[in-house]
Structure 1
Amino acid sequence: MKGLLAFGVLAFLSTASSSQSDLIQRLDNLENDWHRAEALVGQQAREIESLTAELRNKEMSVRQHIARRQASDQKYGFSARLNQDVASLMNNEAIVFDQVLTNVGQAYDPTTGMFTCPFSGVYEFAATIVSNGAHKNLDAELVMAGKRLARLHSTVYGFDQGTQVVITKCQEGQHVWVRHFGTSDTPELPAGYSAFAGHLIHIDT
């Protein structure tokens, strides 16, 4: 009888131990499944974030393309002349063509003499300076963002003129203007002769 009881106790303990091992194994399996699911959710979250960023970039690209297409239908051009006598100019001082004849798109400022490129693209500019002589030359330059595009020269003879035409690429927001160049000439310009003009040819796509 005692032997039978001992066998029963041992069988119970063996079953309990086996059940505990199975339980621990199941818990380990569940923990591993949880970690795998957590990793998978993290990966999917990163993929969703990446796809969202890609969609935003594509949306921005489409919007920019639409804006460029709409802008390409817009016209920008100006023509202005000097409507007052200029008796003196400092070196690198802007020549302000104060009388606006045409200013489609309002990109030319007659108070500063500067044209601001509304879009990155190709533009054409032309400038003419006329001196009243005074036995000295008159020099000027057509500049973009402070860098010379072309130099204009008018000789000592009265009402001589210098003209330049330039086709150039201009970045959005850059300024183009005409300025006096040098210190040894006579920067005197009579009213009604000198002129500055330009227009957009096409926008960069």
Structure 2
Amino acid sequence: MTGHLHIWTLLCLPGLLGQLLPKERDHQVVKIQQALLESVRTPILSLTESIVQNQLDQCNATVSLLETKIREIEMRFAELETRKKDIKIAFYTFISFETAADILIFDRVVLNEGDAYNNSTGVFTCPVNGTYKFTWSVQIQNTDWGHVLVDFKLNGSTKGFTITFGPKEHTSTNTVILRLKGGDRIWLQKRSVTHIRIAAYETSFAGHFLYD
């Protein structure tokens, strides 16, 4: 309706102005132009303010969402740091007597934080993902010439070994550092033995969690 009124005003303007004196006519022209400009300027300003406010609202919503995500990430990092400090996995064991089984059973447990080592089976079961360090020593009794070769097993795959030769009480030691997943199984297994017996109390197996 307002648009039609403006058009009607423009169409009738020449006839109306023609009836006025030149000076008065110029004055009326200026007034009408100002009124027309004001009638157009107000809706434009209103529309511009609405667009700007809408953009500001969207920006504020985006900033609020980003702040929430940042807080969530910070909380996750804090939880991970706390979890790392709380993880305590370590064991130290030795053999009190040698069995006929291929897997070495380290039956005497000095330390077993986290209860990941089973002294009935000789198997360490990884409780959480992470990097672990394992060390073992194999000493032989003072017997005839011979040797004992012991493999370090991860889920049945050899990741390291020691070989100890006789006839004197020699000792072999090795260390392995591995990235493990929860549920991985570690043990020591005799691969080859000739005329040799493993010395009790001097043959040991140890491991501990390093970091996530």
TM-score range, shorter chain: 0.5 to 0.7
Give the letter aligned to residue 101 of structure 1.
Answer: V
Question: What secondary structure is seen at the aligned counterpart in 2 of 1:72?
Answer: helix
Aligned to 1:185: 194
Any residues of structure 2 matched to 1:164-175 within 5 Å, and which?
164-175=174-185
Aligned to 2:120: 111
When Rg is computed on C-alpha atoms for both structures, the one with the higher figure is 2
Q: Which structure has the highest helix share of the two?
A: 2
Counterpart-to-counterpart distance in 1, 2:162 and 2:211: 26
Counterpart-to-counterpart distance in 2, 1:66 and 1:175: 30
2:93 equivalent to 1:80: yes
User: Contact between 1:143 and 1:178, CA under 8 Å: does it hold in 2?
Assistant: yes
Aligned to 1:197: 206
User: Contact between 2:145 and 2:166, CA under 8 Å: does it hold in 1?
Assistant: yes
Match of 2:155 among 145, 148, 156: 145
Give the letter aligned to residue 83 of structure 1.
Answer: S
Uncovered stretches (5+) of structure 1, i.e. residues with no partner: 1-60
User: Contact between 1:130 and 1:160, CA under 8 Å: does it hold in 2?
Assistant: yes
> 4+ runs of 1 displaced by more than 3 Å?
61-71
Taking a change above 3 Å as real, the CA distance of residues 77 and 188 of structure 1, as seen in their structure-2 partners, is: same
User: Contact between 1:94 and 1:180, CA under 8 Å: does it hold in 2?
Assistant: yes
How far 1:67 moved relative to its partner? 7.0
Q: How many residues align?
A: 138
Uncovered stretches (5+) of structure 2, i.e. residues with no partner: 1-72
Identity of aligned residues (%): 21
Question: What secondary structure is seen at the aligned counterpart in 1 of 2:91?
Answer: strand
Any residues of structure 2 matched to 1:59-98 within 5 Å, and which?
68-73=80-85, 74-84=87-97, 86=98, 88-89=100-101, 93-98=102-107
Taking a change above 3 Å as real, the CA distance of residues 174 and 87 of structure 1, as seen in their structure-2 partners, is: closer
Question: What secondary structure is seen at the aligned counterpart in 2 of 1:140?
Answer: strand
How far 1:186 moved relative to its partner? 3.5
How far 1:71 moved relative to its partner? 3.5
Counterpart-to-counterpart distance in 1, 2:107 and 2:74: 40
Aligned to 2:172: 162
Taking a change above 3 Å as real, the CA distance of residues 87 and 101 of structure 1, as seen in their structure-2 partners, is: closer
Give the letter aligned to residue 72 of structure 1.
Answer: K
Taking a change above 3 Å as real, the CA distance of residues 157 and 99 of structure 1, as seen in their structure-2 partners, is: same
Instruction: Give TM-score, length-normalised by structure 2.
Output: 0.59
